[in-house]
Amino acid sequence: MSGTGDAQAAPAIGQNPDIRYLGRLLGDVIREADGEALFRRIEYIRASSVDRYRGVTRGDAVDPGLDALSLDDTLAFVHGFMLFTLLANLAEDRQGFTSEPGGTMAEALARLAREGIGADAAAELLDGALIAPVLTAHPTEVRRKSIIDHRNRIAELMKLRDRGALETAEGDEVEVALKRQIALLWQTRALRRERLFVADEVETAISYLRDTFLPVLPAMYARWERALGRRPASFLRPGSWIGGDRDGNPFVGAESLRLALSRAAETAIGHYLDQVHALGAELSISSEHAHVPEAVLAIAERSGDLGLARRDEPYRRALTAIYGRLAATFERVVGRPPERRASVAGEPYDAPGDFRAELEAIADGLGEIGRTGPLGRLVRAVETFGFHLATLDLRQNSDVHERVVAELLRVAEVGPDYAALDEAARVALLRAELATVRPLASPFADYSDETKSELAILHAAAEAHAAYGPAAITTYIISKAASVSDLLEVHVMLKEAGLWRPGDPPHAAIMVVPLFETIEDLEAAPAIMRAFFALPEMAAITKARGHQEVMLGYSDSNKDGGYLTSVWSLQKASRALAEVFAEAGTRLQLFHGRGGAVGRGGGSSFAAILAQPSGTVQGRIRITEQGEVIAAKYGTPESAAANLDAMASATLLASLEPRSGRRRERFYAAMARISETAFAAYRDLVYGTEGFRTFFRQMTPIAEISGLKIGSRPASRNQSGRIEDLRAIPWVFSWSQARVMLPGWYGVGHGLAAFGDIEELREMREAWPFFRTTLDNLEMVLAKSDMGIAAHYAGLVEDEALRDTLFGRIRDDWMKTRECLLAITGESRLLESQPALDASIRLRLPYIEPLNLLQIELMKRHRAGEDDPRIAEGIQLSINAIATALRNSG
């Protein structure tokens, strides 16, 4: 093995029978499509690499079989290895090997019952709760949607095979159908030719909401209702940023917001139309055999359906009337009638609550059979998704708000130059503006394109409230929030669209949410929120709403201060905010900006929620879901159900389970010391070392990653080339590709070693969920990294002295971190106590190493000036393949 891991204890690779079966089918496809010679070359490299990891053969270099590959064969080889790992992921997901640890609502209730907390307390909490997975378009999903779709079809066929079925519903043999899908995968282009547009990202999000959330969530609520013993309110509802997140994305504007909202409404109402139509076929109840309440008869009479065949079928006639109103609603919202026209005309529903009320009237008339089954699920869907499908957040950078407000004030000739004012003067001026109904903007004035664009977004949001209801947009997030004036500026902007109106209390149709991202921002967050609540008008709107949200940024805090200081700063900020909110008498709602990789807040959501400080969850939590994580968690109904159940159960436990406060203050003091040392080491390497930026850009494929067509947003905030201006996603992604995973561990070894008290660290791991989760995620990152392969990437650095110095520091700290971690856990090798995850990672290692080394060779040729387009394609394909194998790499 070329790495520095624990290969000597590796278990047998490929023990999962599904992996062997799907791998055999892939081999057959390659042989039949491209010939025996290519198949044998790929198989030779595969078998040699696997043997080396099993310890059958020895050697520090990948088998020379790689050197014999032509460029065309290289592309085929990379594609083949990518597809094998994709199929391996599928097989392991089916067995639960790679799903994150979690639990079910029933298990959480049983655990609470052992603490003397009954289901009634849980149901009461959930009636006022909000749990929201929020889909974002952050570009970490390298796979095309076509690849994911084929993968999901294979998963469905494998379920048929599990049941012993020999044929599909269409009459195809199951194995033939499986082989056909794998052949389609083999012949499907893996790379996007064009950069994604916002409209593409909207459609991708809609596909998950339509195919997974819409059918799965109502079924989950039925399961949760049985566990609780009564019907809870719709506490788990999806959200989205796609079409409303403008921070650093010049392609998001009013039109993309309208598109996202319109497509979501079209999807939701279209789904309801289908369900109502199906119910009309099912509810054949005759008034001759059942009592029909007056409420149902009134709806039925409104239909005007006088057909003799339905004269004694009031439920069908009522559903005809409802379908007519819903079709009119669809036409009003979408701008065209639905494909299945209504047989009777109707007035559009003013709000989803009116539609739901008529459905509930029918459900009440039917009794038990109306509260369950398709009608019960439809009522739940309307309650959960409304006409908007998923709540869409707005987000923009505070610097933009400052420029827009300054321009509005200047053109309106209100006050002195806003940009020149200090914080106190800004707050005073902004509060004065918020106290008047007079708008600042004039239709006759001339404004910059930026100001016109921002105002257009807000007017589009006001239109959305009128068209889809206020749940369509509830939140406006401020990136780089660093002061109270940053929050007030957005309120002033909202006033321009009628979304803020002064009064007692003021009316705030959209909640303004600060996003605290850097280490400095997180430290300042409690003071900013305390000052915010000290303003009477802000205290009033918060009290009227019942809660206030604060968003915490994982990615930028990590890039700013390293893994350990990031997670500790987030923990400290959460605890301090809980105290500030308690003082203000306001319920805290934290929005966690987690990414896929551990360096950006990745890891088990279940464990992360349980690790939150006491008093910071209280039944309300929102979490971003992005990139490859969306497909992993919500790509199939089964995975979605498991992950939604885990999120709900973890929130229950974090909110209600008693916490022991013993020893915590001692643990906090220890963590502060460890973090301080880790922070200094990380900052010294990344920001304090001469030449580090050059080292990073030459060692990793950051330039090549920037060329991937995986998102509509640019990789950097500007063209400076500074690490400070690089977005966190490509920063983490490039280190993952080079198998260093630096953002997920660097500095931790310094901190743990300097602290020194192993017994104290062991006690912290045993008694403190936060510290255990931190170390578990660290262990996973170390297991996926490989300093032997990373050394080959370091060979790309042109300055030999710089390379040796910096890579030596990185390698030494990796070893130090690993040794400290093993000393704390008492394990002899990484992941020894997590055999399923250990086996999952080890399965992939023989497939990733050849991909890494081919990528390095192609990068050398590309950087030397070879202009064969197959080289660039090979690099991008290798990036795709390595990311697929590593799974949570972005």
Tell me the residue type at 554.
Y
Cβ distance 105 to 644 under 8 Å? no
Query: What is the per-residue burial (b if ≥16 Cβ within 10 Å, else e) of 122-132?
Result: bbebbeebbbb
- Please give the structure tokens belonging to residue 8: 């000597």
Cβ distance 854 to 878 under 8 Å? yes
Query: What is the per-residue burial (b if ≥16 Cβ within 10 Å, else e) of 829-863?
Result: ebbeebeebbbbbbbbbbbbbbbbbbbbbbbebbe
**Cα 883–Cα 887–Cα 888 angle in degrees, nearest 5:** 100
Cβ neighbours of residue 163 under 8 Å, at least 6 residues apart?
none
CA end-to-end span of the chain, whole Å?
25
- Distance, in Å, from the CA atom of 281 to the CA atom of 118, rounded to the nearest integer, reads 41
- Distance, in Å, from the CA atom of 823 to the CA atom of 817, rounded to the nearest integer, reads 10
- Distance, in Å, from the CA atom of 796 to the CA atom of 636, rounded to the nearest integer, reads 40
Distance of CA 446 to CAs 55, 406, 441, 497, Å?
73, 14, 10, 18
Q: List the one residue out of 358, 363, 392, 32 whose CA is nearest residue 186.
A: 32
Cβ neighbours of residue 428 under 8 Å, at least 6 residues apart?
none
- Please give the structure tokens belonging to residue 310: 């339905």
Name the DSSP letter for residue 129: -
Residue 45 half-sphere exposure, CB side, CA atoms within 13 Å? 27
Omega before 505 within 30 of 0, i.e. cis: yes
Burial of residue 719 (number of CB atoms within 10 Å: 0-12, 13-18, 19+): exposed
Bridge partners, residue 591, by sequence: 551, 622
Cβ neighbours of residue 730 under 8 Å, at least 6 residues apart?
702, 705, 706, 715, 716
- Distance, in Å, from the CA atom of 491 to the CA atom of 484, rounded to the nearest integer, reads 11
Using alpha carbons only, how large is the chain's radius of gyration in Å? 29
3-state secondary structure labels for all residues of 385-413: HCCCCCEECEEEEHHHHHHHHHHHHHHHC
- Distance, in Å, from the CA atom of 125 to the CA atom of 233, rounded to the nearest integer, reads 10
**DSSP assignment string, 784-804:** H--HHHHHHHHTT-S-HHHHH
Helix (H) or strand (E) segment spanning residue 654: helix 637-656
CA 559 to chain centre: 19
Q: Would strands 507-508 and 500-501 be described as parallel, antiparallel, or unpaired?
A: antiparallel
Q: List the one residue out of 138, 132, 394, 388 whose CA is nearest residue 261.
A: 388
Cβ neighbours of residue 397 under 8 Å, at least 6 residues apart?
247, 248, 478, 479, 480
Q: List the one residue out of 306, 204, 886, 181 whose CA is nearest residue 602.
A: 886
CA 825 to chain centre: 30
Angle between helices 835-863 and 869-886 (to 10 degrees): 170
Name the DSSP letter for residue 130: E
> Which residues does the annotation mark as catalytic?
138, 559
As a dihedral over the C-alpha atoms of residue 875, residue 881, residue 886, residue 887, rounded to 10 degrees, the angle is 120
- Distance, in Å, from the CA atom of 813 to the CA atom of 442, rounded to the nearest integer, reads 59
- Distance, in Å, from the CA atom of 272 to the CA atom of 356, rounded to the nearest integer, reads 11
